[in-house]
Structure 1
Amino acid sequence: MKKFMDRDFLLETETARRLFHDHAENMPIIDYHCHISPQEIAEDHHFKSISEVWLGGDHYKWRLIRANGIPEEKVTGQTATDWEKFEEYAKALSKSIGNPLYHWSHLELQRYFNIMTPLNEKTAKEIFKICNDKLKESDMGVQGIIRKSNVRVICTTDDPADDLKWHQKLQEEQSCSAKVYPAMRPDKLMNIDKIGYAAYMKRLSNAAGVPIKTMADIRRAMNTRIDFFEKMGCRATDHALEYVFCREADEEAVNVIIAKGLSEQAVTQEEIEIYKTAVLTYLAGEYSKRGWVMQIHYATLRDNNTKMFKKLGPDTGFDCIAEGNCGKGLVAFLDHLNERDILPKTILYSGTPSDNALIGSVIGSFQGTEACGKIQQGAPWWFNDTKQGMIDQMTSIANFSVFGNILGMLTDSRSFLSYARHEYYRRILCNWIGSLVENGEYPDDMETLGRLVENICYYNAAAYFQFKL
């Protein structure tokens, strides 16, 4: 029997072990999509307890505790103690065999706290104390964790109207070992169907110094903000869509829809698609002009539990996979941009694993000379971010495209300890490649294989995004 999560965890062959320990293990990290706070980085925030860093905003862990039948007060409540929340997580985790959270949590305990003991109800008290004592050390603030994790680049998620003052502070002080860049996420600009659109457009107008009433005004305002983000080192954007579509209309029709949104009138589904197509087309052109990367996340249903949404707000763990089923819309949108020579480097993430083959085949229709793998399938995202999900996606992209061009892993997380997910991915990557080599399906050429692994772990993303390192 193998030891629990030892040095060769998930590495089943000698080739896998050589690839991981000699090539992947010590490669730096480029975390090009995450949701961590630039303010906490700039202020080198120190966490008061393991519960704060683990359970303060991680809806993956919240879902696990809720599934164990625990009252919400011990999940996100204000009166439950840090110990009570940690204890409930330990109870739930010990029953979660096969869940990636089991592996992620123990990798984090091993790498940041030197704890090799499995977390369960019996060990929780001791582990809670060890972690909290460790977090009091001077080098266990946010910047120390980033340094220990060998992170070179962090892309936070930022609204076009944000002032980016914390990014500015980080650039001026250069106290963090990693480069911290903004990544623009204009979802509030896109969401003309959501409550708060009119109020948000006033905020964007104030940030840009441009009154907004028409599509032309949106272009002027966003040009100002995009220029500002570019000055701050932005190389990536992100768009969250339930599904992908392309519905063209003339600008006069778009302006009528914008007027309805600004006056808080209801808009139809057709009008939503017309407006979003117009905005996305304009933005894609700007991204292409600047060499930015457009990321599109789709096929998830968010905030499904109305009662809990009213109580806790968005992004609190009540989301699920949506039917992808938008291949025609995805192709139409990419073709729409490609015909106009404004298709930027693009990364596609679907919330449903059934879209692996679809994306793998679609990206082959729109590659270009701007980069190796100009159009990419993104890292296994959200409900695909599991051991089996990674293996399935690796197998699919290898079947349909050039595997050596992929961009490795990202955390997509709100936790500063989540960099261990890169290690998890790299172990699975090396094991997957190693199995092909040991089965005689690829030559045992360690020079070529080592370079392939190092590229996927780090160099591909560095070249693709063109960050200033």
Structure 2
Amino acid sequence: NAMLKGRDFTTRALIKKMNVEVICTTDDPVDSLEFHRQMKTDFDVKVLPTWRPDAVIKIGDNAKWREYVEKLGTSASISIKGFSDLINALEKRHSFFHENGCRQSDHGLDRFYFSAYDSSEVENITRKMIGGKPLNEGDPEKFRCAVMYELCCMNHRRGWTQQFHVGAMRNNNTRMFRMLGPDTGFDSIAPPQDAFKMSCFLSMLDEKDQLAKTILYNLNPADNEVMITMAGNFNDGTIPVKVQYGPAWWFLDQKAGMEKHLKDLSALGLLPRFIGMVTDSRSFMSYPRHEYFRRLACNYIGEEVEKGLMPSDESLLRMIVEGISYRNAKEHLGF
């Protein structure tokens, strides 16, 4: 405790001690980003915003959704009365985030959404929700698909990297949800993904040349192979591994999960281009997980060399390890 009170263990001191070059926060489209602008002048580590527009498609509670849409409209100085207004407001805020250094979006989804729709349909659906009217059975899927498509087009237009974290079943304990609210530690792994809808959504973007650099994260380990092979479907050669299989996330961010992840990616993907570990914890003491991951990765590669499954070529192995540990993420994310 005495050490933690010292100057060497302040948040900023810890960040510098761990040789952190870039931190990307998670920010709602309505965020003012005032502290990001402040840190540009008083902190020599890059702290960049990340666009996280999940609240736009959380339409289960209509009253809360309408309250959020009101905030979004205020932040963009747009009166939101329908779908086109909603997208215009998001576009304006997306531009604001870009001006403030944002180059990534992050989307926390229970699954991928896909349903055929036309502009008049989603306009009417949005107007119904704003008016507090009930939706038809297929309306939520169409609305979510349409919003996600427009958000992905924005990401592509500005050259961002988009991330999809899918497969969390949230707020399972109803009693604790009522007591503490959402996202308080009562989440678990959802059933495997609907690969068909994932395929259709990514294909829709690709067909219209609107697929940005993409990183796919799954929470259910049963989806590893699905995600890896799905990513391979949309790598068009324009940049190395345009669609990436992301690192082991959340419940999979442990020894067995990371080892399975490395084995599956090596078998079905391109391990030397892997972007490596991510620190998505709110704890500033969590940076050693990168070292933990690097040790597991080196151990896996070393075992493969000993088995004769990878060449015993030090220069090649160094390139792979350095890429996974540092270079690949920096190049892919453009830092």
| TM-score (norm. length: structure 2) | 0.97
2:219 aligns with one of 348, 351, 374: 351
Opposite residue 380 of structure 1, the aligned amino acid is A
2:45 aligns with one of 171, 178, 195: 178
Which structure has more relative contact order (CA 8 Å, sep 6+)? It is: 1
2:277 aligns with one of 409, 423, 442: 409
CA contact (8 A) 1:324 1:355 kept: yes
Distance 1:293 1:442 in 2: 31
Please give the per-residue CA displacement for 1:315-367, whole angstroms capped at 9, x wherever unaligned: 11101111123110111111111111101111111110000111111111110
Distance 1:137 1:232 in 2: 33
Give the alignment of 1:196-275 within 5 angstroms: 196-268=64-136, 270-275=138-143
Aligned to 1:461: 329
Give the alignment of 1:39-78 within 5 angstroms: none
2:25 aligns with one of 156, 160, 169: 156
Distance 2:210 2:231 in 1: 16
Give the alignment of 1:342-381 within 5 angstroms: 342-381=210-249
Instruction: Tell me by how many angstroms 1:264 deviates.
Output: 3.0
CA contact (8 A) 1:241 1:296 kept: yes
SS in 2 for 1:295: strand
Say yes or no: does 1:278 pair with 2:146.
yes
Q: Which runs of 5+ in 1 are unaligned?
A: 1-131
CA contact (8 A) 1:244 1:333 kept: yes
> What is the percent sequence identity of the aligned residues?
39
Distance 1:336 1:284 in 2: 11
Opposite residue 288 of structure 2, the aligned amino acid is A
Aligned to 1:108: none
Aligned to 2:57: 190
SS in 2 for 1:239: strand
Distance 2:244 2:135 in 1: 33
SS in 1 for 2:101: coil
Aligned to 2:15: 146
Q: Which runs of 5+ in 2 are unaligned?
A: none
CA contact (8 A) 1:158 1:182 kept: yes
SS in 1 for 2:151: helix
Please give the per-residue CA displacement for 1:214-243, whole angstroms capped at 9, x wherever unaligned: 221122211211111111111111111111
SS in 2 for 1:180: strand
Opposite residue 415 of structure 1, the aligned amino acid is S
CA contact (8 A) 1:193 1:266 kept: no
Please give the per-residue CA displacement for 1:348-392, whole angstroms capped at 9, x wherever unaligned: 111100001111111111102342111111110111111011111
CA contact (8 A) 1:292 1:344 kept: yes
Opposite residue 159 of structure 1, the aligned amino acid is D
Give the alignment of 1:429-448 within 5 angstroms: 429-448=297-316
Opposite residue 315 of structure 1, the aligned amino acid is D
- Count of aligned positions: 334
Distance 1:242 1:267 in 2: 20
Opposite residue 192 of structure 1, the aligned amino acid is I
1:340 aligns with one of 208, 224, 227: 208
SS in 2 for 1:249: coil
Structure label with greater radius of gyration: 1
Distance 2:219 2:239 in 1: 25
